[in-house]
Structure 1
Amino acid sequence: MAEPSDFLPLQVAIVGCGIAGLTAAIALRKHPKIRVVLYEKATELKEIGASIALGPNGLRTLQKLGLDNAISDEVAYRGPSNIPMIYRHWKTNEIIGMDVHEDVTEHLHHTARYHRGHLHQALLENVPRSIIHLRKKLVSAKADSQEGVTLEFEDGTIATADILLGADGLRSRVRTSFVPDFELKWSGWTAFRSVFDTSLVESIPDLPLDSAHWWGPDTNFFASRLGKNTYTVVGGVNADPKDSSATFKNVEWNQEASVSLLRDKYSTGINADYTLFLKDWNPVVRALTEVTPSTRFYPNFSGSSLSTWVFGSRATLIGDAAHAHGGAHATGGSLAIDDAYCLFLALLSIFPFTAPRRPSSEEIETALKLYEATRKPHAERLLKKVHAANNAKSAKVGIPEGDEELRARAAKGSDTNWLHEHDVEKAFEETKTWIEGRLLDADDVSAKL
């Protein structure tokens, strides 16, 4: 017999109000019988960070969600060639490689680059402020298949829900609640990231209109226009992560840095404080560093694969909280967006719009496991690639790459179309069909016993 509670809306709590959390909220709110509440530790809705890119996969997903304001040319920048990444030689400035999309025809699906704050604001425009609770720093989270989830915050308040989504980023407190021994490890790379007005670069001769990634013997340099007349440059330093005295080992995310570090790195010779510095970076790169007004540190961290993404049959993770890959291949934003959409599809599969009642605890677990089965293998493929690359870089710190080797590596490109052109909806349907087929086979075997 149905209980009165069976007809109440499904309550979903989302911890984290970044790209992942907002996208999840937007998707889930399309269901008339799901109620979403967002909890954010910040005191104001202001996304920190520098630039962010979305590939075709993330852009297509945002379009499916009706978020045209978040993918328009008013907020994002797309280069005139529609080539997602062009690799240039650090010294000569010649093009030595590029990545090319395989199956992208619509203009709005070509790789788009944003100031992170502008993308965040575009998503916020689609979320009622009334469902966002600020100053909510999570202390602990508990999940039980029958009782639901309980959240305790630093201000002493308690919240409950039917489902919990941890969308609270690289240093997720939701993840810590369920996997307390999870560790992030510094890769040895510390980026200097800057965003400023495009007017500062307009007079630089030979500045490419397309995004450019200059590859050098011991480091790289990236520069690109962003939406809303902004520009970004990204430089950095590689170090041995095992070296306790490594420069920048203990700097913090988004910590203010001296812009002279950026200029010195790409303009001068060897400097023992920052490992190997090489002379003769091409004039375009040097000019970009000279007009850059300020910069900030962004140390790169990643973590191991989790054994599961589902906890207590009621809680799961999305975005960097689920797969701490360190932002490799500029795919973190799109991964988070696809995670959010896949979770919505999974819940919709057990709780359609026309459902006469709320899903049972068993059905909720089925949905979360379906989400995990779809997304976890995809994320683990990336994590494996990232860890291999980090280990290879660590082994070569202080050993400049030869020019022939550098050119050969750039000519190969990044081989990441499987990431940037991934069809999350197709992957979800294939996973769902595969699981249903296995269940049918199991039923057939049981019937014959």
Structure 2
Amino acid sequence: MGSSSNVRVAIIGAGIAGLAAAIALKDNPSIEVQVYERAPELREIGASIALGPNGMRTLDRLRVYNALHDSVAFRNKSGLPMIYRHYKTNEVVSVDKHKGAVSQRHQTARYYRVHLQAALAEHIPATQIHFSKAFQSVSFDAGTQSLRIRFADGSTAEADVLLGADGIHSAVRRHFVPSSQTRWTGWTTFRSVFPVDPHLAHIADLPDEAVHIWGPDRTLFLSHLGRGLFTVVGSTQSDPQAPSAPYQDATWNEEGDVAVLRGFYKEWSPLVRQIVDAVPFTRVYPNATAHALDSWALGGGQADDRDEGSGSGARTSSGKRVTLAGDAAHAHGGAFAAGGSLALDDAWAFAMAIKHAFPAHQLQARDRGSVGENIERALRLYERTRKGHTDRVMRVVAQNNAKTVDRHREAGGGWRETDDELRVRMQNRADTSWIHEHDVVEAFAEALADEDPSQGELQAQL
């Protein structure tokens, strides 16, 4: 990393959160960003992903206009975020609606995850992304007053602050909180993304909007995606504590069996069976979660080198210089298709906190000790902006997962729900607009005002 007058930000992970954070920081010449990705090239393991109005607005703030384009972002022509259909009759039983004022540009959209990641990557110089860099550890170097990051290939890097954006099984999170290992929730999805033509072109009634089809024991999600693609997402629920539970040893993105997927829906409507029978392949995604962290500001241990300037050989505290974003920060285990938007809002809030601590006009050489103090303030501001909201998401998701598992256990592995009960459940879904229409700009301004009341007018600048 470059000039000692710059604040050096290292981002672990080139997924949605990591790339978005790098984009959000790039307009500040006093901040230098490097992204470290464990994969040998920029590729995303995943299938479809949804962004609600909050995520779409953040893309707009980041000026990632290519990701808002209709060629990659599929929006329902009705403007409805989601349409819920009955598994036997295919009738619309219920719909979601945007609660606040949402422009067409910011309406809920579905993406092929690879398209979204590629759109973000176009806004970052290739020289800032370093591949085959699997995070191993980080420590504080008292001599340079910097973080020393070690990678599995034996190489190292220095930074002033580190953002762990390395996914639900985050190595950065586990480095600081070993107890935050993920666990399987018992829910497993089967995701497929493939071209409409030739696989589905023969189906006259193929849904032309994103739909969530509910049955008594499982659901099925169908949607067009950008560039002529279509996604089919099936699911199955098991008791995660059962010794013989299927998919308990499955790995993320492993190859699935389309015959199993078809068996899940063999008693559903003719249209559903026709669509599922046309799926050319599927991949398995076991759903996982981890406990909420006490704090996102990590570090504060002892330096790994002696402070040569002290003359006493005493160790120097590293302070809080590490934080997390996206699934690394809140491994929620399924959040109403909100994970992508949560990651984008995390990235934006982190970048705003860092830029607030290090304004672009302050380019003079900095005392390295004061850099650490400013970073700690920035991480407190970031956590205050985001953690309360994502903790609430995690609580709601955990409660829903627990209810689903309890129902599964009570039914002895099979649902006993009447058609009337199913319809009532579909119509009485929880209102999740507080997730999909959360205003991260307002939350940041409130957090800033809480920390420094004199800064409460920042809202007008954002």
Regarding TM over 0.5, the answer is yes
**Structure 1 residue corresponding to 2:388, chosen from 360, 373, 377:** 377
Contact 1:164 1:316 in 2 (8 A): yes
Q: Is the 8 A contact 1:12 1:35 kept in 2?
A: yes
Matches within 5 A, 1:99-114: 99-114=96-111
Q: Is the 8 A contact 2:334 2:397 kept in 1?
A: no
Maintained 8 Å contact 1:150/1:161: yes
Q: What is the deviation of 1:356?
A: 4.2
Question: Do 1:303 and 1:324's aligned partners in 2 also have CA atoms closer than 8 Å?
Answer: yes
What is the Cα deviation at residue 147 of structure 1?
A: 2.6
Q: For 1:167, which of 165, 168, 172 is the aligned residue?
A: 165
Equivalent positions of 1:357-436 (< 5 A) are 357=364, 358=366, 360-397=371-408, 398=413, 399-436=415-452
Question: Equivalent residue of 2:252, what SS?
Answer: coil
State yes or no: 1:153 paired with 2:164: no
Residue number in structure 1 paired with 2:237: 238
CA distance in 2, matches of 1:221, 1:84: 16
Match of 1:78 in 2: 75
Structure 1 position 7, deviation (Å): 6.2
Provide, for residues 110-136 of structure 1, a one-character-per-residue CA deviation record: whole Å limited to 9, x for no partner.
Answer: 111111111111111111111111111
* Cα drift, residue 172 of structure 1: 0.5
Structure 1 Cα separation of the partners of residues 130 and 241 of structure 2: 40
Which residue of 117, 121, 124 maps to 2:121? 124
How far apart, CA to CA, are the structure 2 residues paired with 1:189 and 1:367? 37
Q: Tell me whether 1:329 sits opposite 2:316 in the alignment.
A: no
Alignment of 1:34-433 (within 5 A): 34-143=31-140, 147-199=145-197, 200-267=199-266, 279=267, 281-312=268-299, 313-357=320-364, 358=366, 360-397=371-408, 398=413, 399-433=415-449
What is the distance in 1 between the residues matched to 2:216 and 2:454? 50
Deviation, 1:104, is 3.7
Percent identity over paired residues: 47
The structural deviation recorded for 1:439 is 12
For 2:181 and 2:45, the matched residues in 1 are separated by: 23
The letter of the residue matching 1:405 is: E
Question: Is contact 2:163-2:323 (8 Å) kept?
Answer: yes
Return the alpha-carbon distance in structure 2 between the equivalents of residues 123 and 415 of structure 1: 30
Deviation at 1:12, TM superposition (A): 0.5
CA RMSD of aligned residues (A): 1.9
Amino acid at match of 1:118: H
Letter in 2 for 1:238: Q
Distance in 2 separating the partners of 1:77 and 1:55? 12
Q: What TM-score comes out, normalization by structure 2 length?
A: 0.89
SS class of match (1:360): helix
SS of equivalent to 1:26: helix
Do the aligned partners of 2:82 and 2:210 also contact (CA within 8 Å) in 1?
yes
Shift of 1:401: 2.7
Question: Helix, strand or coil: the match of 1:328?
Answer: coil
* Kept in 1: contact 2:200–2:278 (CA 8 A): yes
Separation in 1, partners of 2:140, 2:217: 46
Partner residue in 2 for 1:446:
none
Instruction: Give the number of equivalent residue pairs.
Output: 424
Matches of 2:147 and 2:235, distance apart in 1: 42
Q: Deviations over 1:360-400 (max 9, x none)?
A: 21111001111001100000000000110111011111233
Which structure 2 segments of 5+ residues have no match? 300-319, 457-462
CA 1:211/1:360 → structure 2, altered by over 3 Å: closer, same or farther?
same
State the AA in 2 paired with 1:401. E
What is the CA distance between 1:6 and its match in structure 2?
9.6
Q: Which runs of 5+ in 1 are unaligned?
A: 268-278, 441-449
The AA in structure 1 aligned to 2:241 is: K
SS at match of 2:402: helix
Distance change >3 Å, CA 52–CA 439, structure 1 → 2: closer
Q: Distance in 2 between matches of 1:120 and 1:347?
A: 23
Shift of 1:415: 0.9
CA contact (8 A) 1:7 1:356 kept: no
Kept in 2: contact 1:99–1:413 (CA 8 A): no
Structure 1 Cα separation of the partners of residues 376 and 152 of structure 2: 28
Deviation at 1:97, TM superposition (A): 1.1
1:270-305 deviations in Å (ceiling 9; x for gaps):
xxxxxxxxx3x0112111111100000000001111
Query: Does the 8 Å contact 2:296/2:383 carry over to 1?
Result: yes
Matched-pair contact (CA < 8 Å) for 1:144–1:314: no
Give yes or no for contact 2:6–2:363 (8 Å, CA) kept in 1. no
Q: Deviation string for 1:3-23 (max 9, x for gaps)?
A: xx9961110000000111100
Contact 1:143/1:315 (8 A) holds in 2: no
CA distance in 2, matches of 1:323, 1:148: 26
3-state secondary structure, aligned to 2:333: coil
Query: CA 1:351–1:214 in 2, change beyond 3 Å: closer, same or farther?
Result: same
Partner of 1:271: none
Do the aligned residues in 2 keep the contact of 1:142 with 1:177 (CA within 8 Å)?
A: no
Q: Which amino acid aligns with 1:389?
A: N
Instruction: Assess if the C-alpha contact under 8 Å between 2:38 and 2:133 holds in 1.
Output: yes
Give the whole-Å Cα distance in 2 for the aligned partners of 1:219 and 1:11: 47
> What is the alpha-carbon distance in structure 1 between the residues aligned to residue 281 and residue 26 of structure 2?
39
Checking the alignment, whether the CA contact within 8 Å between 2:212 and 2:220 is kept in structure 1 is yes
Deviation at 1:143, TM superposition (A): 4.7
Query: Do 1:339 and 1:375's aligned partners in 2 also have CA atoms closer than 8 Å?
Result: yes
2:239 is matched by which residue type in structure 1? D
Instruction: Select between 391-400 and 35-44 the one with higher mean Cα deviation.
Output: 391-400
Structure 1 Cα separation of the partners of residues 164 and 264 of structure 2 = 38
Other-structure match for 2:316 = none
1:187-211 CA distance string (max 9 Å, x none): 1111110000022223323322111
**SS of residue in 2 equivalent to 1:379:** helix
SS of residue paired to 2:153: coil
